[in-house]
Amino acid sequence: MSNSFENSKNQETVNLKQLYINTKVEDVFSEIETQLIGLRDIKIRLKEIFYVLLIDKIKKQKNNSFLNLSLHMVFTGKSGTGKFFVAKKTALILKKLGYLTKGHILKVSRTDLIGQYVGHTAPKTKEILQQAFGGILYLDQVHELYKPDNEKDYGSEAVEILLQVMENHRDNLVLIFSGDKTKLEPFFKCNPGISSRIGNYIDFKNYSADELKEILIFLLETQKRYKITFGALLKFLDYINFFSKLKSFANVRTLNLLLQKAIAKQSIRLEKELVTSGFLAYNSLITITEEDFNALTPTDIISICGQV
């Protein structure tokens, strides 16, 4: 009797496609596909993580053996590579799978966690963690949190609290450690307890010039409501190639700063045209030209470099 029960249980099938549909996560993946240009490896990695968690959930439901997975993650990469966007979508995916109750995300940095005097850091850090429960706590530039060469720094106290929470409250809180790869490596070497509790490491590469061109066109069409001439597009690529060689290059953030400068120059150009002719065609109002990029001054360029 027992054997026949086990056999029938073993022959039970699972409709994975239907389970996938039931999670209603397809909408999230569609948003990632349409709103996140390039980053093919990141998209594949997200789906891999999703299916590992989906299968794990099925095993739990069937009272079968399952993995004791850590959902804490590390996102490495330079600024403007889409890390926070992907983190927000990850929160939604985990909520739809039932791993998080709220699916919100709270982005914090060193100043949000570290106190200014003895006894201030612990309550400050715990308050942030309380706000993050049910979702993701996104620790931006986390390497700044810990300064081992400064004995009076309170960062180690915050790190210790984070470590305790990672172990004791991982059922309804996910921590994502974010920052530049070269700066994060020393942080994790100094804090091996944290790195041993990380489930996934995802590295965000810099965008290529062609990908940034696609992003520019996408932003102009969907958010800014502008058009751009072919000559202006070539000028944009020239600037991107220049900025990409600088240490301060910040991918989409640099793109946005460059675009803002060009739009400002367009406004100045249109004002002069209006004074001269007395009227403006609507098409002129929504078109960025090569002249607008040519009008950028050395001060504008330095400003873009400094703001990223």
Q: Tell me the domain boundaries of the chain.
A: 2-204, 209-307
* pLDDT (0 to 100) of residue 186: 85
* pLDDT (0 to 100) of residue 67: 62
* pLDDT (0 to 100) of residue 5: 42
Domains 2-204 and 209-307 share a fold: no
The fourth-level CATH superfamily of domain 2-204 is P-loop containing nucleotide triphosphate hydrolases (3.40.50.300)
* pLDDT (0 to 100) of residue 116: 80
Are 288 and 228 a contacting pair, CB within 8 Å? yes
Pair of tokens at residue 154: 């309170």
Q: Phi and psi (nearest 5°) for 138?
A: -100, 110
- Taking the C-alpha atoms of residue 230 and residue 234, their distance in angstroms, rounded to an integer, is 6
This prediction's pTM: 0.85
**CATH label, 209-307, candidates 1.10.8.60, 1.20.120.80, 1.10.1740.10, 3.30.710.10:** 1.10.8.60
Q: Which regions in the chain score pLDDT beneath 70?
A: 1-12, 64-68, 307-308
- Taking the C-alpha atoms of residue 87 and residue 95, their distance in angstroms, rounded to an integer, is 12
* pLDDT (0 to 100) of residue 178: 96
- The SS3 call for residue 43 is helix
* pLDDT (0 to 100) of residue 187: 87
